Structure 1
C-alpha cells in the first residue's frame, strides 16, 4: 500500500512539474519566443499524435492534424488564460481537429480506407523480428480495427482516458462534457470494444 502511495505521489509530482514547465513555456511563447513552441511541440507531440492516430486510424492524417493543432496553438496562445493545463487545452484542440478532419474525410470519400505500404525488410534478422512480432501486430490491428468501429464520441473518451491516461475530469474538460457523461461513454466504449474483439478474435 505504501509503495502504491509513493508511486502515486511521484506521478502527481511529475505531473505538477510538467504543468509548471508548460506554464513557463506558454509565457515565453506569449512574449514571442519561437523556441518555446518548439519545446512544447517536443514535449507533447507523441501524445498528440497518439490521440489523432487513434481517432483517425491513418498516420498521415494524424500527422496533419498534429501540425494543424500546433498552428492553432500558436495562433490562439494569447487567448489561453490557463484555466486548464496546457496539456488539457492542447488535447482539446487535437481531439476536435481530429474529429473535424474525420467528418471532412467521410464527406470527401464515402468509404476511404488508408492503406499503408508494407516494406519487406532487407536483412534476415529484421525479417525474423517481423515474424516474431506478427502476433502482437495482429492483436494491435484487431484492437485498432475494433476501435475504429466504436462510435466517435465514445472512442474519443476511451482514447483520452485509457490510452492517454487523462483523469475523468481532464477528459470532461477536453470534451466539454460532464464527468458522469465521460464515465458513461467510457463504459459503453469498453462494452462495444469487447463485443467487437470477441467476434474478431474468437
Structure 2
C-alpha cells in the first residue's frame, strides 16, 4: 500500500471488520471530500448527501481495496465518480445563480473598502469562478487540486492517473487560459497576473 502508514493500518483494521477504524478514516477525510464535491455540486444538502454516499460506497468496496494507491486517492476517485453521476442526473444549472462559485464571495470586507472596491472585488471573484468553470475538466481538476487543496504535482498525478509532466502542462495551460480571460478585469487593477 502506498501512502500514509496510519491510513494503511486503519484500512487493514477496517477490512478486518473494525467500524471504529473506518470511522477514523471518515473523520480524517470528510472535509476534503466535501470540499471536492462542493466544486461541482452547488447545493450544500446535495454535497452532504454525496459525501455520505461516497463513504458508503467506499465502505462497501473496502474489502476489494488492494492498496495499489493511497487510500485518499482511491476515495477521491469514488467521490469524483459519484459527483459525475449526480451531475448527469441533474439538468444544467446556472453555475453562479446564487452568487457563489468555486471561490465564494462571502469574504468580510475591510473597514476602509469603498463600494467601488467591493464591486470590483465581487466582479473579479465572479470572473475568476466563470473562468475556472470554463476550463477543460482535466485542467480545472489539476488546477484546483494544486491551488485549493495544495497537493504536490506527484500527488495530483497519482489522483489523476497521469505523469507529473502532464499535470504540470495542464496547470500551465489552465493558468494561461485564466490569465487571458481575467486580463480585462485586471487592467483596472494594475494588470497584475495572479
**TM-score of Structure 1 vs Structure 2, range by shorter chain:** 0.7 to 0.9
Residues 27-66 of structure 1 aligned to structure 2 (within 5 Å): 27-66=12-51
TM-score (norm 2): 0.72
Gaps spanning 5+ residues in structure 2: where?
Answer: 101-106, 188-194
Q: Secondary structure at the match of 1:55?
A: coil
* Deviation string, structure 1 residues 118-157 (Cα, Å, up to 9, x no partner): 9xxxxxxxxxx95549949735444333211212121111
Tell me how far apart the structure 2 counterparts of residues 152 and 28 of structure 1 sit (CA, whole Å).
35
Could you tell which deviates more after superposition, 35-44 or 91-100?
Answer: 91-100
Q: Secondary structure at the match of 2:53?
A: helix
| Contact 1:88/1:174, CA 8 A, preserved across alignment | yes
Tell me how far apart the structure 1 counterparts of residues 82 and 184 of structure 2 sit (CA, whole Å).
31
Q: Secondary structure at the match of 1:81?
A: coil
State the partner residue of 1:156.
141
- Tell me if 1:172 matches 2:157: yes
Tell me how far apart the structure 1 counterparts of residues 92 and 76 of structure 2 sit (CA, whole Å).
28
* Deviation string, structure 1 residues 72-105 (Cα, Å, up to 9, x no partner): 2101111111121112222222233323433x05
Residues 81-160 of structure 1 aligned to structure 2 (within 5 Å): 81-102=66-87, 104-105=88-89, 108-113=90-95, 115-116=97-98, 130-132=108-110, 135=118, 138=122, 139-160=124-145
Tell me how far apart the structure 2 counterparts of residues 56 and 181 of structure 1 sit (CA, whole Å).
26
Greater relative contact order (Cα < 8 A, sep 6+): 1
Match of 2:62 among 77, 92, 98: 77
Tell me how far apart the structure 2 counterparts of residues 140 and 28 of structure 1 sit (CA, whole Å).
44
Q: Which structure: greater helix fraction? A: 1
Could you tell which deviates more after superposition, 159-168 or 52-61?
Answer: 52-61
TM-score (norm 1): 0.70
State the partner residue of 2:104.
none
| Contact 1:154/1:186, CA 8 A, preserved across alignment | yes
* Deviation string, structure 1 residues 24-44 (Cα, Å, up to 9, x no partner): 221221122222222211111
Q: CA deviation at 1:54?
A: 2.2
Gaps spanning 5+ residues in structure 1: where?
Answer: 1-15, 119-128
